[in-house]
Structure 1
Amino acid sequence: MDPIATAAYGMFQASKRFEASALRTAQMGDPEAQVDLVAETVEQIGAKTAFSANAAVVRTADEMNKALLDILA
């Protein structure tokens, strides 16, 4: 299992969650749209946190790969 690929997919999914929530938030001006601003804010914060966590996994995996290559060199 490749941690970088898994984290990249997690970043992609978090980005999609954030974008969907942002689109719903943008519809607040429509009188027929029923948008819960609090729920959308929580969703955006959660998506941002998930993206950051997955980015940290990518950075850590990269550092571990570099350390392994240094050991083997």
Structure 2
Amino acid sequence: MIDSLQTATTAMTRATERVGTAAQTIASSGVPVGGPALAPSDRVDLSGAAAELIGAKSAFALNAAVARTSDRMIGRMLDIRT
């Protein structure tokens, strides 16, 4: 049971890192005010970054559900033993 909590928290950490990476990608897509437009080779794939955000959100939510379930199961085991 403890392994499932550790696995879930590790996966939530990775999902958080994925959100950070996607956010950096989106933030880097801005053009300086008054500056020239970005060259085609410098353009950022915003649709890919948005898909990454959605995937990371889903991964985090699913692993949070695993952590909650594991926590409830551990609580019930402790209730049974006492």
Q: Same fold by TM (over 0.5)?
A: yes
Q: Which has the larger radius of gyration?
A: 2
Give the structure 2 partner of residue 50 of structure 1: 59
Cα RMSD, aligned residues only: 1.3
Aligned-pair CA distance for 1:34: 2.0
Q: How many residues align?
A: 73
Q: Structure 1: which 5+ residue stretches go unaligned?
A: none
Give the structure 1 partner of residue 46 of structure 2: 37
Letter in 1 for 2:59: A
Aligned-pair CA distance for 1:72: 1.3
Greater share of helix: 1
Deviates more, 1:1-10 or 1:26-35: 26-35
Give the structure 2 partner of residue 14 of structure 1: 15
Q: Percent identity?
A: 41
Q: Structure 2: which 5+ residue stretches go unaligned?
A: 32-37
Aligned-pair CA distance for 1:71: 1.2
| SS state at 1:28 partner | coil
Q: Distance in 2 between matches of 1:62 and 1:6?
A: 13
1:15-68, Cα deviation, whole Å (9 max, x unpaired): 001100010000111425321111111100000110111111110000000111
